Amino acid sequence: MTRIVAALTTVALATAALTACAPASGVQGGRSAASPTPAPTPTPVPTELRPGTNHSYAADAYAHSAAEVHAWLVDGDRAPHYPEQRVAFLTFDDGPSSTTTPKDLDILKAEGVPATFFYITGDKALAKVDPAVPRRAMAEGHAVCVHSRSHNYHELYPGRRADAEHIVADHDRAIADLRGVFGDGYAAGCYRYPGGHMSWRGMAPADAALADRGVHWIDWNTMTGDAEPAQRAPHTAGQAARMVPAGLAAAGDPRVAVVLMHDAEGMTLSTDALRTVIHDLRDKGYTFGVIA
Ligand SMILES: [Zn+2]
């Protein structure tokens, strides 16, 4: 929990400082008796959603926008603000689920590592899961992005070509679903296309329509391979864990890692590999961030 605890402490100290200042200015500011006393500013709880974002107040310390992380993946150290130190973004698609997600959250909590969850908000995932699961992810310092409402390739990409109108309508319904869970303050600048942006044709109009909403898509540069076709898929957790450093090596050993995994119902390979994935990245000097 080191990073999350440190962030929580920072927020707690900052809010303590604000609280300490408030009465002093009221007493010493020479207000006349007729001046209305300003209402005290409520102290934000570090674990609650920071309105206008997809993460908690505490997670702000290690959150990076999807647009920025995307540029880091594509342009490497030619991109603005490319990190001096290694940073990894663990990402889970196709959840939440009642079975897999809580196990992943237990491991992430034990390791003190934040992750980014790309939710399917419709009947395939969020709609059938107890809202306590996504709310736990938020409270424990993770970020929640959109991975569509339907995850229906035929609707989103008829003939393998993006239907921009359908994609953004589906996206907007997903945001409404997430506001039902996290409150009206939930907003996300991050979107992962079902199947990945790299898999489809004619993406520019959909990309532009999302950008009009302040949303940027993000793919990945390495994976555990847990959703790969059978001929490429790993058979054991050890094989899945080894695919992550192998993918980074193939990408030229970048300082930014975006790791694709899945936490859909019944998908256990990445859960079983997760500790090894985290330890390997940490051994290579990576710290962990979330995508906003
Ligand atoms: Zn997916």
CA of 82 to the centre of ligand 1 (A): 27
Query: Is residue 2 one of the residues assigned to a domain?
Result: no
Within a domain: 25: no
**Among 225, 262, 275, 239, which Cα is nearest to 116's?**
262
- The C-alpha angle 186, 192, 195, rounded to 5 degrees, equals 145
Question: What separation in Å is there between the alpha carbon of 172 and the centre of ligand 1?
Answer: 17
**Number of domains within the chain:** 1
Q: Which domain holds residue 202?
A: 48-291
Find the 94 Cα to ligand 1 centroid distance in Å. Answer: 5
* Domain CATH for 285: 3.20.20.370
Nearest to 289 by CA among 39, 35, 113: 113
**Does any domain span residue 282?**
yes
pLDDT value for 34: 56
Is the distance from CB of 52 to CB of 189 less than 8 angstroms?
no
Cα 255 to chain centroid distance, Å, stands at: 19
Contact by Cβ (8 Å): 47, 139: yes
Assess if residue 239 is contained within a domain: yes
Q: Which residue has the tokens 């663990």?
A: 90
> pLDDT tens, position by position, for the chain (292 residues)?
444 444 443 443 333 333 333 333 333 333 445 567 778 888 889 999 999 999 999 999 999 999 999 999 999 999 999 999 999 999 999 999 999 999 999 999 999 999 999 999 999 999 999 999 999 999 999 999 999 999 999 999 999 999 999 999 999 999 999 999 999 999 999 999 999 999 999 999 999 999 999 999 999 999 999 999 999 999 999 999 999 999 999 999 999 999 999 999 999 999 999 999 999 999 999 999 999 9
Q: Cα 187 from chain centroid?
A: 12
The structure tokens listed for 36 are 């209305």
Return the pLDDT at 35: 63
Tell me what pLDDT residue 40 has.
Answer: 82
| Tokens 């898509």 belong to residue | 217
Ligand 1 centre from 255 Cα, in Å?
25
What pLDDT does residue 89 have? 99
